[in-house]
Amino acid sequence: MSQLHPAVNSKDYIQGNHSASLELVEYGDYQCPYCGRAYPIIKKIQQKLGDDLKFVFRNFPLSDMHPDAFNAAIAAEAAAMQNKFWEMHDIIFENQQELDGESLFVYADSIGLDVERFKKDIQNDALVAKVEQDFESGVRSGVNGTPSFYINGEKYNGDWEEHAFTEYLKSQLEVIK
């Protein structure tokens, strides 16, 4: 089984209980239809598991197939500079069919970003480097498609439909406790 490299660290965006014993990492592509399908499933799992789950999203834009995925990842990273990564992450997935530049500016405005700052931030080479680092870490971790999930550092190759995934995560929680 593939291992997560690097482990979750201060460069990651964490949603939920930072000290939860169950850690779920997703490598995703904002334009991938499967990631779009997984998005509401992850939201429901987060609700069901509550404080027992820490969720991390890492960028894995498959630019050859999804031409707007890289810019969407940059937009999420730029939103993070204004402490709105998760808000941008969510609005991008909720509007996955419209990820052109103009739409990303509209989303930035709708989540309360300083749009002029956002427009400057998306030009920041450090954000390109961050997305590329996420991608490289995915390659090192054995990501072979999106979405790819890691549970407590181990690649999960099972069913990620809501019921099966929730039950598997609950079973892992029982093992940990």
Domains in the chain: boundaries: 14-176
Digit-coded pLDDT (tens) for 92-148 = 999 999 999 999 999 999 999 999 999 999 999 999 999 999 999 999 999 999 999
Query: In terms of CATH architecture, what is 14-176?
Result: 3-Layer(aba) Sandwich (3.40)
What DSSP state is assigned to residue 172? H
- Spatial separation of the C-alpha atoms in residues 119 and 100, rounded to whole Å: 14
For the entire predicted model, the pTM comes to 0.96
Which candidate, 83, 89, 90, 92, places its Cα nearest to that of 112? Answer: 83
Beta strands 22-28 and 14-16, pairing class:
unpaired
Q: Tell me the pLDDT tens digit for each residue of 30-87.
A: 999 999 999 999 999 999 999 999 999 999 999 999 999 999 999 999 999 999 999 9
Distance CA 143, CA 137 (A): 9
